[in-house]
Structure 1
């Protein structure tokens, strides 16, 4: 599903926020600084254009066979969406470098392509599988990103999740992004649920979970509430707890254009598009938030998220089979605190999948460092 249109971006503001995001992927700080100093335009194909500058950084990493750094730099080059031929080429280079990087990792890597039925048609879903080949598989964790962070950029999360014994980690692009063949739509959880079911059968696992990042958290919540997975972590996902997830036409930092492409629109979202989005993607309006989730659920986000309402996290506090962590002094997905938040969230997920194996004190100790950072709910 090719993305279609360019859109206005205030480069200094955009880069100011995204620099933290790129650092979280693993792009070295000095590389980010060099790119930031040289980039003069988001869409221009010339030497000071976004893709050209980032491509130069990626090729420099390739020359020294730093394949993971190269993959992340190519990810920055194709960012925020593959709307131009140069970005599409950068994305293919990213996928190629990532497979080279995977060969150097201690965990076992496999790239699968699944055929999934969606709306009475077959769509292909590429999946990156990570696991310890010496461990017998017994649980599956599906990791799904959001509108501009795709499966390669989730490498660090995948490696952290794969450290838990017997865990098969499956990383996918959210529908509407990356290698997906379909646009984002309210029912694309059907695709993710079928991927989970297929992989659970393929690897013979008995427990399934999900870690959803940004908009991927929306789908993790939906899979947990409908009982199609056993446990889920929602990291910064919009769920429409108040009946309206967000006004996508008014979001900052180029997000209206990013979302418009992911939704398959031909231009920036209109007020009608924004109203339809609010209606279609609200889990409150779908009736899913009126009772407890069937699968265990943890919702986590920063208290200063500029995109997602605080209520989209706190709505789960006090619900049976659910928990909510609101991280003070942190923004979208609590990125600033992720080195502390992620290990705690993965410990929670592992405990939710296998509660009999770990005493409650183990989870309390694993979450302990996070405690002082959380706001009272």
Structure 2
């Protein structure tokens, strides 16, 4: 793990919409921005101490979930310092303390999934522990299982609001996880780590006797696309994931807002990646280079992103459009993961997923209704939700 150049005010400005969407009030985000003057230091204006003060204030006020979310902001964007590792421990402690008050029924479980990549990193007896946060409606039987994963810097507890809303709105059992290389994952980010996620899907399908879907945001969308192409899940949604589908170059080392350092930490590197390492990793993670785009089989896949993504080439989304069983939605005037239109996007995603994981005439009708608010915001007719 390592620190890297990053301007704290720029980071807060760029992530403000994300922090508020996760549940941190805008006034708290604005106050933190005004107080922070150091990304990595532990002085009064340091990133971790500032967010820690807001977390402790929320704790004193009895709002344990907000405290957990502020501790999550404190550990952002990577566990590169002792202060951030402490903040992450505090986030988990506060989150679990808040769980009895969640609207959705909650259970935490650590599953041991087979994993052997030629190293001993994160393995015990050929398995790796995968902490899973399950959320479901407090009544009735789930209609399917949905694995939910964020990306390299937004992890399972940060996505609580989305996980809870998805469980309550769809009736699916949501299994929130940290993707390999992040959060509580014990293994580094590697191109072959989809085997852990495939093993998790297989385990959940066997234990619950239900279809299993995958919703991945940002880099989590890479895993969604790969698992669908391999047919390891019953349906998947890739929201803003890098895929290499069009073979467009990505200048990783010059991505904004410290993204090269964030990815390097997920890879468990000790410093920023070199140009040679970047080229090697881009090739390794490219789904086109892996030959997966030529497969005639697989599972239904929905690929969604903003048309003006600041990190991912447009072709990483649109390049999936020719695959059978794949729909592509490109959202006009939106950036990475389309936060500017997130409500109509997620509503349409819920409709798409439930229609495929719980196929009934009613869910097909609900899918058509759920996508109506999104349709005017799509870039071109040939990328419409009817694809």
TM range, normalised to the smaller chain? Answer: over 0.9
Aligned to 1:84: 81
CA RMSD in angstroms comes to 1.5
| SS state at 1:369 partner | coil
Aligned length: 373
Is 1:162 the equivalent of 2:203?
A: no
Contact 2:9/2:37, CA 8 A, preserved across alignment: no
> Which TM-score applies when normalising by structure 1?
0.95
Q: Gapped runs of 5+ residues in structure 2?
A: 118-125
Contact 1:226/1:295, CA 8 A, preserved across alignment: yes
Distance 1:67 1:339 in 2: 25
Is 1:178 the equivalent of 2:188?
A: no
Deviation at 1:10, TM superposition (A): 2.3
Deviation at 1:292, TM superposition (A): 4.8
Aligned to 2:328: 324
Deviation at 1:164, TM superposition (A): 4.7
Aligned to 2:120: none
Q: Gapped runs of 5+ residues in structure 1?
A: none
1:35-114 to 2 correspondences below 5 Å: 35-114=32-111
Distance 1:244 1:373 in 2: 25
Contact 2:143/2:358, CA 8 A, preserved across alignment: no
> Which TM-score applies when normalising by structure 2?
0.93
Aligned to 2:17: 20
Aligned to 1:135: 140
Aligned to 2:121: none
Aligned to 1:295: 299
| SS state at 1:163 partner | helix
Which residue, 190, 193, 204 being the options, matches 2:209? Answer: 204
Aligned to 1:275: 279
Contact 1:164/1:350, CA 8 A, preserved across alignment: no
Deviations 1:230-276 (A, max 9, x none): 10111000000123563321211100111111001110011011101
Contact 1:244/1:282, CA 8 A, preserved across alignment: no
Deviations 1:194-252 (A, max 9, x none): 111112222232x1101000000000111111111110111000000123563321211
Is 1:307 the equivalent of 2:311?
A: yes
Is 1:258 the equivalent of 2:255?
A: no
Contact 2:354/2:363, CA 8 A, preserved across alignment: no
| SS state at 2:148 partner | strand
